[in-house]
Chain A
Amino acid sequence: MTTTAVAGTATGRKPATMAQALTRAMRDAMAADPAVHVLGEDVGQLGGVFRITQGLAEEFGEDRCTDTPLAEAGILGTAVGMAMYGLRPVVEMQFDAFGYPAFEQLVSHVSRMRNRTRGATPMPLTIRVPYGGGIGGVEHHGDSSEAYYMATPGLHVLTPGTVADAYGLLRAAIASDDPVVFMEPKRLYWSKAGWDPERPEEVPGIGRAVVRRQGTTATLVTYGPSVPVCMEAAEAAREEGWDLEVVDLRSLVPFDEATVVESVRRTGRAVVVHESPGFAGPGGEIAARIGERCFHYLEAPVLRVAGLDIPYPPPMLEKHHLPGVDRVLDAVSRLQWEAEWTEGG
């Protein structure tokens, strides 16, 4: 278990955005290893529509940071071939929903190649997917597509909720010999925290969750764009007398069951929070695992606060879809506190 503050501003370092940390991670990875190649739509001269690849083509040349034709299956498919030849491609899918054309390459090849060849052909590939809503994007620009990837054996799925994690997890993803779907919460791109690009702090690696806030009465299990929501909810909950713990999963696959189970056994209550639709979503799996491992410690059923089970809404209505602080607090209030009060007199 590791405890880290959400924002490092207390350390006195200059603030940096998550976008800057992601750019720096790719830049440092490319400088450290000539096998690292970035490819995608508009990633070259423009620096990507979110400017995450800004400066890479300039510094490393267009052969290392390449504007591809506009075809996601082609981008990921050629990246598979590049990986087969020993390169370490970092692919940008411009938006969550634009990654779907590449789904066949991802599911039928990227995730299976190592297994198919009994380890002879690993896929050291990183697929960056800007995901989630909250930026006022029109249709196809706000999906939370992580559940599709999580349901595919052979892939790792990571998502940072902090600036330091954006750098540390992306470096870990690029260094990994396994394919990583790296989900970048779009609405946190411009979130800031004290962070020194020259001395980026060490963060726990792939497969490790982190306790962002320690608490004693219930655990919020969350990741990516919902991390700040849960932190805010935890602060607000103090007024109600609830001392909430917040676990940031960071790594959806591999799933750090130990950290989650340890927390929930201690607090006795859990709410899983994510933007992705709830039905057959990540929260169902997480809640089931908590139920299996923490049954005798639970004071209440595990609840989920998720996006609605609807196609991603138009931006003017997205606030009703996205789990906010109120919805999280409402779920916390339904964790059968009354029973305890009755018993406790």
Chain B
Amino acid sequence: MTVLEQPGRAYHPAPPPAWKPRTEAAPLLPDPEPYRVLGTSAAEKADAGLLRELYGALVTGRRYNEQATTLTKQGRLAVYPSTTGQEACQVAAARALRPQDWLFPSYRDTLAAVARGLDPVQALTLLRGDWHTGYDPAEHRIAPLCTPLATQLPHAVGLARAAMLKGDDVVALAMVGDGGTSEGDFHEALNFAAVWRTPVVFLVQNNGFAISVPLAKQTAAPSLAHKAVGYGMPGRLIDGNDALAAYEVLTEAVERARGGGGPTLVEAVTYRMDAHTNADDATRYRTDSEVEPWRAHDPIALLEAELTGRGLLEEADAAAARAAAEELAAGMRERLHADAELDPMDLFAHVYAEPTQQLREQESMLRAELAAELEAEDDEREETR
């Protein structure tokens, strides 16, 4: 029988002698409601140029999502996980970073990569299927689009730590979804980042769904931003459809990281307007009445209302934004309707610095197969002539 089970005896253990919190919890707590700027008096202080830039980027972002979705329906992309409705998060993440900083996107974050300046066709190779990563990560400071959920977060922590140890002024911003916060790597990355005080910003886009599973089945936490407190870093809860709030809070978090303040977790509350991908049917798990309120809370509409209300958006500005978006879409159509250039020998070239004997043999086999195919095609042409 343990002391706890002994009737009539209260169990009053003495507190451990040396216990003290490593960090005070209260300053780390997120706001009770998602932080908003647009539509409040705080927005009036915002620079008009910045607002117009964000607006242009959102309009282009929306068009990018639409064009990529269309290209998927036309069979030019294998699959496209859309960020329609999440453009504010995508654009703000890209814009909060300086050229030397690093972005660690998930597979859904191609728009963030494009907003950072990456060529859309290079950003889309993974989803087109011609190669996994179509760009040099170090050249653009954009890590490969990561498919296994949350596994890119420890990479961001390690890269930021390496930069910190070298004395380089570099911040890493890692993007993950609400579903990804259930993964072990999310937990481990946040813990390592906080213990090492690495210059990292974790951006959780809480878009309501992990494919079909709603947030309520994913977590019992007060908010995803609250998870930060358990690791000893600040959590910020923001309206992810408020481009200005997202830009402001992410920029602050990046500044904080830069100044040696360590990591921040930002939860951006947003909504995935489209299905998970073109291969998914969202009507199986959500009704249109659920989606409807989010149409009214659209990131472009919110920013447009702010700009129009303050007389900052002339029709000419809006037309210019639309034209820039159309130009991007036209470029995507033209280049992605062309057949991808494939070299089957690429299959062997980069497995190791030097191919193994076994790979060399398999390469010869494929070469021979391809040569035989060509020959057969030639013969066929001869016969039909």
Q: A residues within 8 Å of B by Cβ? A: 37, 63, 68-69, 71, 73-74, 76-87, 89, 101, 104-105, 108-109, 112-122, 153-154, 156, 176-178, 207, 253-255, 257-258
Distance of A116 Cα from B131 Cα, bound (Å): 7
Given A114-B350, A117-B136, A255-B356, the answer on whether A74 and B155 have CB atoms closer than 8 Å is: no
Contact A115 B351 (CB under 8 A): yes
Which residues of chain B have C-beta atoms less than 8 A from A73's C-beta?
151, 154, 184-185, 188
- B342 contacts the other chain (Cβ, under 8 Å)? no
What is the minimal beta-carbon distance from B150 to any residue of chain A, in angstroms?
9
- B215 contacts the other chain (Cβ, under 8 Å)? no
Which residues of chain B have C-beta atoms less than 8 A from A74's C-beta?
154, 157, 185, 188-189, 191-192
Chain B interface residue bracket vs A: 35 or more
* 6 A-B residue pairs with CB within 8 Å: A77-B155, A85-B158, A85-B166, A117-B137, A254-B358, A257-B358
Q: B residues within 8 Å of A by Cβ? A: 131-133, 135-139, 143-144, 148, 151, 153-163, 165-166, 172, 184-185, 188-189, 191-192, 195, 346, 349-353, 356-358
Given A81-B162, A116-B132, A117-B137, the answer on whether A154 and B352 have CB atoms closer than 8 Å is: yes
Given A69-B191, A101-B184, A253-B356, the answer on whether A78 and B154 have CB atoms closer than 8 Å is: yes
What is the minimal beta-carbon distance from B132 to any residue of chain A, in angstroms?
4
Contact A63 B133 (CB under 8 A): no
Distance of A306 Cα from B298 Cα, bound (Å): 63
Other A-B contacts than A74-B185, A80-B154, A81-B161, 6 sampled, CB-CB below 8 A, are A74-B154, A77-B154, A77-B185, A80-B155, A81-B154, A105-B154
Among the listed B148, B156, B192, B352, which residue makes an inter-chain contact with A68, where contact means beta carbons less than 8 Å apart?
B192
Distance of A257 Cα from B137 Cα, bound (Å): 36
What is the minimal beta-carbon distance from A148 to any residue of chain B, in angstroms?
17
Which residues of chain B have C-beta atoms less than 8 A from A85's C-beta?
158-159, 162-163, 166
What is the minimal beta-carbon distance from A96 to any residue of chain B, in angstroms?
20
Among the listed B143, B153, B346, which residue makes an inter-chain contact with A84, where contact means beta carbons less than 8 Å apart?
B143
Contact A81 B185 (CB under 8 A): no
What is the minimal beta-carbon distance from A292 to any residue of chain B, in angstroms?
11
Which residues of chain A have C-beta atoms less than 8 A from B188's C-beta?
69, 71, 73-74, 77
Which residues of chain A have C-beta atoms less than 8 A from B191's C-beta?
69, 71, 74
Among the listed A82, A87, A114, A118, which residue makes an inter-chain contact with B352, where contact means beta carbons less than 8 Å apart?
A114
Contact A114 B351 (CB under 8 A): yes
Most buried by B among A63, A74, A112: A74
